[in-house]
Amino acid sequence: MKILKSFLLFAVFITVSCTNDPDINSIGKSSIRLVKGVNDSTTVTLKYGDETVINEIIKIKFKGITEDSRCPMDAMCIWAGNAAAELEILTPDENLTEVLNSNVLPQSIWVSGIMIKLIQVSPYPSTQIKINPEDYIITLDIKLADEAPQVNYVKLLDDNNLEVINKDPLQFNSAVVDGDKLSINLSYSGGCRTHQIQPYALTSIEKSNPARVLIMLSHHADNDMCEAYITKDYEFDLSALKNFAINRHNITDKVVLVFYDPEGNKIDKTCEYQFPQ
């Protein structure tokens, strides 16, 4: 009986001690199917270079860790730090490069009815161990989400993927930056369909003083043939751009935003984005 009790205690210890590790059986899942009301969510674990497909329409590839400033487990730190995972997300309409974070925003992204959230980055840093880029493993929470979250982000876009920009015309009226918030006022013709406005920040930041970031505006009018003239305010969170500038380009103070319309024409308007402390 004592032997049996000892064995059971050992088994419980092993189970508890491993709950924070990635599920090795789920690493590199090639395909995931989510069905509303049946299985609305799941987790997937990806090694460096792995990819998975969600509902046969969204492909997610783990491209690597762009930052790992997490406090080592055997060190004392003032700040917990952050790990940033770069994902390539392909849909029938978009080819996105997104950076999700462990401790700062953004930690999740909504794409085509799916919410993707970074929930774990392994291994955890130690002063005694060097982590190679190919050693990293991430765990994502994937769930159905009919509506996009209230916060819309300025998305990062590689210069080689400009084809994702929808080029329906619009009139750029004004832009203001307040903290991490970009407010823009736009006008366009329509009135019968939902128009999608998305600003993209190109990842090739110009190293001038101050540094300059090109903001490409995308406008998808959904074949709206109505002729009303709509003027509307839009708000977007700039924190993803800020984190990218700090962690990838070591720009810690500010950048200048240079705007381009959907047809690639430079707009005679710039905004200074001073990074909030």
137-143 mean pLDDT: 96
d(CA 211, CA 242): 12
pLDDT value for 18:
36
229-246 mean pLDDT: 92
Residue 13 has pLDDT above 50, yes or no: no
pLDDT digits (tens, 9 = 90+) for 152-189: 889 888 888 888 899 999 999 999 999 999 999 999 99
Q: Lowest-pLDDT range, 68-72, 91-95, 225-229?
A: 91-95
pLDDT value for 243:
86
pLDDT value for 263:
95
Residue range(s) of every CATH 2.60.98 domain in the chain: 22-144
pLDDT value for 23:
47
pLDDT value for 64:
95
pLDDT value for 156:
86
Q: Is the distance from CB of 62 to CB of 51 less than 8 angstroms?
A: yes
Residue 92 has pLDDT above 70, yes or no: yes
pLDDT value for 52:
94
d(CA 161, CA 98): 12
pLDDT band at 27, cuts 50/70/90?
low
The edge-to-edge listing of strands for the beta sheet with 137-144 is: 41-47, 137-144, 114-122, 108-111
Element (H, E) at 159: none
Task: Round the average pLDDT of the chain to a whole number and report it.
Answer: 86
pLDDT band at 16, cuts 50/70/90?
very low
Element (H, E) at 59: strand 58-68
Tell me: domain 22-144, CATH 3.30.70, correct? no
Q: Is the distance from CB of 99 to CB of 105 less than 8 angstroms?
A: no
Position 86: which residue type? Answer: E
| More confident position, 237 or 10 | 237
Please, what is the Cα angle at 197 between 42 and 83, to 5 degrees? 45
pLDDT digits (tens, 9 = 90+) for 42-86: 999 999 999 999 999 899 999 999 889 899 999 998 778 889 899
110-114 mean pLDDT: 88
Give percent above pLDDT 90 in the chain.
58
Residue range(s) of every CATH 2.60.40.2370 domain in the chain: 155-274
pLDDT value for 15:
35
Burial (CB < 10 A; 0-12, 13-18, 19+), residue 233, is exposed
Residue 20 has pLDDT above 80, yes or no: no
Return the closest-CA partner of residue 86 out of 107, 65, 55: 65
pLDDT value for 29:
54
d(CA 107, CA 84): 9
Q: Indicate the DSSP class of residue 125.
A: P
Return the CATH number of the domain spanning residue range 155-274.
2.60.40.2370
**Distances from the Cα of 67 to the Cαs of 81, 105, 177, 201, 244, in angstroms?**
10, 14, 26, 19, 9
